A and B are shown apart, each in its own frame.
Chain A
Amino acid sequence: MSFSRETDHGTPPALATGKSVTLTIDGQSVTLPEGTSIMRAASLLGGSIPKLCATDSVESFGSCRLCLVEVEGRNGYPASCTTPVAEGMVVRTQTDRLKQLRRGVMELYISDHPLDCLTCGANGDCELQDQAGAVGLRDVRYGYDGATNMGQAKDQSNPYFDFDPSKCIVCSRCVRACEEVQGTFALTIESKGFESKVSPSQGEDFLGSECVSCGACVQACPTASLIEKKVVETGTPDRAVVTTCAYCGVGCTFRAEMRGEELVRMVPWKDGKANRGHSCVKGRFAWGYAQHQDRILNPMIRASVSEPWREVSWDEAIAHTASEFRRIQRRYGTRSIGGITSSRCTNEETFLVQKLIRQGFGNNNVDTCARVCHSPTGYGLSQTFGTSAGTQDFDSVMQADVILVIGANPTDGHPVFASRMKKRLRQGAKLIVIDPRRTDLVQSPHIAAEHHLPLRPGTNVAMLTAIAHVVVTEKLYDEAFIRERCDWDEFQDWAEFVSEPARSPEAIEPLTGVKAQDVRAAARLYATGGNGAIYYGLGVTEHSQGSSTVMAIANLAMATGNVGREGVGVNPLRGQNNVQGACDMGSFPHEFSGYRHVSDDVTRGLFERTWGVALDAEPGLRIPNMLDAATDGTFKGLFVQGEDILQSDPNTHHVAAGLAAMECVVVQDLFLNETANYAHIFLPGSTFLEKDGTFTNAERRIQRVRKVMAPLNGYADWEIVQLVAQAMGLDWHYSHPSQIMDEIAALTPTFAGVHYDRLEAEGSLQWPANDAAPDGTPTMHIDGFVRGKGKFVVTDYVPTDEKTGPRFPLLLTTGRILSHYNVGAQTRRTANTAWHPEDRLEMHPSDADNRGLKDGDWVTLRSRAGETTLRVLVTERVAPGVVYTTFHHPETQANVITTDYSDWATNCPEYKVTAVQVMASNGPSDWQQDYAQQARNSRRIAPLEAAE
Chain B
Amino acid sequence: MSEDSHAMSTTDRLVYMAHQIARNMAMMGEEKATEALAEHLTRFWDPRMKAQIVAMAKEQPERLSPMVAAAVARMAQGRPAPDVDAAQFNAVDEAGHCDAG
Contacts and interface: CB of A to CB of B under 8 A. Distances in A.
A203 interface: no
B78 to A, nearest CB: 10
Interface in B8-59: 8, 10, 13, 17, 20-21, 23-24, 26-28, 40, 42-49
Contacts of B100: 334, 358-362, 613-616
B88 A618 contact: no
Contacts of B96: 322, 326, 727-730
Interface stretch (A57-65, A524-532, A567-575, A626-634): A626-634
A336 B43 CA distance: 20
A5 interface: no
B6 A632 contact: no
A464 to B, nearest CB: 15
Given A334-B89, A599-B43, A900 B6 contact: yes
A589 interface: yes
Contact of B101 (A333, A362, A906): A362
Given A361-B100, A634-B48, A798-B24, A333 B85 contact: yes
Contacts of B97: 729
B101 A614 contact: yes
B35 to A, nearest CB: 15
A619 B92 contact: no
A728 B56 CA distance: 37
Nearest to A906: B44
Nearest to B87: A333
Interface string B58-101: 00000000000000000000010110111011001011111111
Given A794-B28, A798-B23, A333 B98 contact: no
Contact of B79 (A334, A335, A599, A730): A599
A474 B56 CA distance: 48
B16 to A, nearest CB: 8
A332 interface: yes
A362 B44 contact: no
Interface size on B, as a range, is 35 or more
A310 interface: no
Contact of A613 (B26, B44, B79, B101): B101
A359 B101 CA distance: 9
Contact of A618 (B40, B46, B101): B46
Interface residues of A, number: 63
B60 to A, nearest CB: 17
B3 A805 contact: yes
Contacts of B3: 805, 807-808, 864
Interface string A720-740: 000000011110000000000
Contact of B92 (A329, A617, A801): A329
A377 interface: no
Interface string A861-897: 0011100000000000000000000000000000000
A333 B84 contact: yes
B84 A651 contact: no
B79 A864 contact: no
Given A362-B98, A651-B6, A805-B3, A545 B24 contact: yes
A847 interface: no
B57 to A, nearest CB: 18
A551 B4 CA distance: 33
A326 B101 CA distance: 15
B32 to A, nearest CB: 11
A613 B24 contact: no
A548 B13 CA distance: 20
B27 A497 contact: yes
Contacts of B89: 329-330, 333-334, 362
Interface in A342-363: 358-362
A326 B92 contact: yes
- Give chain A's interface secondary structure class: loop
B84 A336 contact: yes
A618 B81 contact: yes
A211 to B, nearest CB: 42
Contacts of A361: 100
Q: Which of B21, B45, B46 is the most central at the interface, judged by chain A CB atoms within 10 Å of its CB?
A: B46
Contacts of A728: 96, 98
Interface string A317-339: 00000110010011111111000
Given A334-B88, A794-B28, A905-B21, A729 B95 contact: yes
A365 B45 CA distance: 11
Q: Which of B4, B100, B101 is the most central at the interface, judged by chain A CB atoms within 10 Å of its CB?
A: B100
Interface string A631-653: 11010000000000000000100
Interface string A597-634: 10100000000000001111111111001001101101
A906 B88 CA distance: 28
Given A335-B84, A796-B27, A798-B24, A619 B101 contact: no
Nearest to B46: A621
A619 B27 contact: no
B99 A614 contact: yes
B98 A590 contact: no
A551 to B, nearest CB: 10
A631 B6 CA distance: 15
B101 to A, nearest CB: 4
Contacts of B10: 628-629, 631-632
A620 B48 CA distance: 9
Contacts of A597: 43
A61 to B, nearest CB: 56
A805 B2 CA distance: 11
B43 A794 contact: no
A927 interface: no
B28 to A, nearest CB: 7
A40 B88 CA distance: 70
A801 B43 contact: no
B5 A619 contact: no
Contacts of A907: 17
Interface string A518-558: 00000000000000000000000000110010000000000
B74 to A, nearest CB: 16
B98 A729 contact: yes
A905 B24 contact: yes
Contact of A333 (B42, B45, B79, B86): B86
A330 to B, nearest CB: 6
A899 interface: yes
Contacts of A615: 100
Contacts of A326: 92, 94, 96
Contacts of A864: 1, 3-6
Given A548-B24, A904-B24, A589 B46 contact: yes
A907 B49 CA distance: 14
Contacts of B43: 590, 597, 599, 619
Top 3 closest pairs, chain A to chain B, by CB = A729-B96, A362-B100, A334-B89
8 contacts: A330-B89, A331-B86, A334-B89, A362-B101, A620-B46, A798-B24, A807-B4, A864-B3
Given A807-B3, A899-B6, 15 more contacts: A330-B89, A330-B92, A333-B89, A334-B84, A336-B84, A359-B100, A599-B42, A613-B101, A614-B100, A614-B101, A616-B100, A625-B46, A729-B96, A904-B20, A905-B44
